[in-house]
Structure 1
């Protein structure tokens, strides 16, 4: 488990809170593993009717920890923690909600494509700078984003790295509602409301809405293989070195 992932249970809701303030909730392998375990626990517990992802004020998730990924690149491939989390998220039978405030970068945006409801504050910003880092999309986003927003807007987001504000994200279909304040409270209230409904009926309805996920899982795996190859590319290594030079 990771000290940077806090798990809470209340009112039939399991909350997965990313809590790494010094890195704006950039994800490490340990954080991925902890979140995968939390999803599995929620799926197995009869008392839980909804899963809620949350971050910190001003930072939902700043994407992957690049230092961690540099270490990964040296070994080749991507660790099982990343694949395990993405499969668990994509296959979750219980509703998955998210409460977003501030930065949602990379996986901080693409994980929202798998959520059944997303609340965001007006100051939230969604960005996927994969290409800027010499990388490619992940989390099934190359399949889901065009379905949600059309190929042109998906290209703006995934290839051009255009930042989307909360209003545009709502227009594109991956933010449900903009909440002026207390997005965590609003997220928990919405999650509790669905958790109070007949559980089996909710899960069956989600299954019908989501449909067969075989194509999504196949795309996730395809993206992972391409992404892993890109980690050791000259473009990615140059982009990472430039990033760390700026940080220094």
Structure 2
């Protein structure tokens, strides 16, 4: 467990709150482990009917902690925490609602592709700079983003690394609604509580029908992960990650 992830309960709603504000919610392996455990245990708990992801004011998530990336890139190795989280996310048996405010980079964007409803604030920008770091898309985004945004919209997000504003994201179907900062959590919890009040068996069947079989998504996440691991060991990715870290230190 880590204080950087706070798990709360509001009736039948489980809130998973990323709480590493000093690093703009950059996700460490320990944070991934806590979130995957919360999803898995919540799915197994009949008293929980909805999962909610929240961040801190101004930062949903800045993506993966680059120190962890560099550890893998320099041969120090890494565990299965990210993989476990992605599997728990892709296979979640209960609806997921997210509230995004401000920074949403990398997994801070792709996590929302797995959500049933995402609310964001006007200052939110969704961005996936994978290729800029010598890496490839993850979390099944190479499959899900083209389904939502079309091929060219997905390429702009995942290949070009272009930021997508909240207003544009809602028009494109990437998120559900845009709400003001002071109303974000209220809107998210109201939607989650509404979902939790629905007949759970009927809702599960409806959700499964809309999502379809998970096999293709899981296979794509696995394929992405293989490329991602290979890329982390590449000279291209190491150089890009080190250059990015040096730019951050120089600021």
TM beyond 0.5: yes
Deviations, residues 34-72 of structure 1 (Å, cap 9, x unaligned): 000000121011111100000000000000000111112
CA contact (8 A) 2:13 2:51 kept: yes
The yes-or-no answer on 1:43 pairing with 2:43 is yes
Q: CA deviation at 1:76?
A: 7.0
Distance 1:85 1:177 in 2: 25
CA contact (8 A) 1:77 1:225 kept: no
Structure 1 counterpart SS, 2:74? helix
**Which has the larger displacement, 32-41 or 74-83?**
74-83
Residue 81 of structure 2 corresponds to 81
Alpha-carbon RMSD across the aligned residues, in angstroms, is: 1.1
Q: CA deviation at 1:182?
A: 2.1
Q: CA deviation at 1:78?
A: 5.5
Q: CA deviation at 1:203?
A: 1.1
Deviations, residues 104-162 of structure 1 (Å, cap 9, x unaligned): 00000001000000000111010000011010000000000001010001000000000
Structure 1: 4+ residue segments shifted above 2 A: 72-79
Structure 2 gaps of 5+ residues are: none
Residue 241 of structure 2 corresponds to 240
Closer, same or farther: CA 152–77 of 1 in aligned 2, 3 Å: farther
CA contact (8 A) 2:99 2:184 kept: yes
TM-score normalised over the length of structure 1: 0.97
Alignment of 1:188-203 (within 5 A): 188-203=189-204
The yes-or-no answer on 1:222 pairing with 2:223 is yes
CA contact (8 A) 2:124 2:165 kept: yes
Closer, same or farther: CA 106–3 of 1 in aligned 2, 3 Å: same
- Between the two proteins, the alignment pairs up a number of residues equal to 248
CA contact (8 A) 1:76 1:232 kept: no
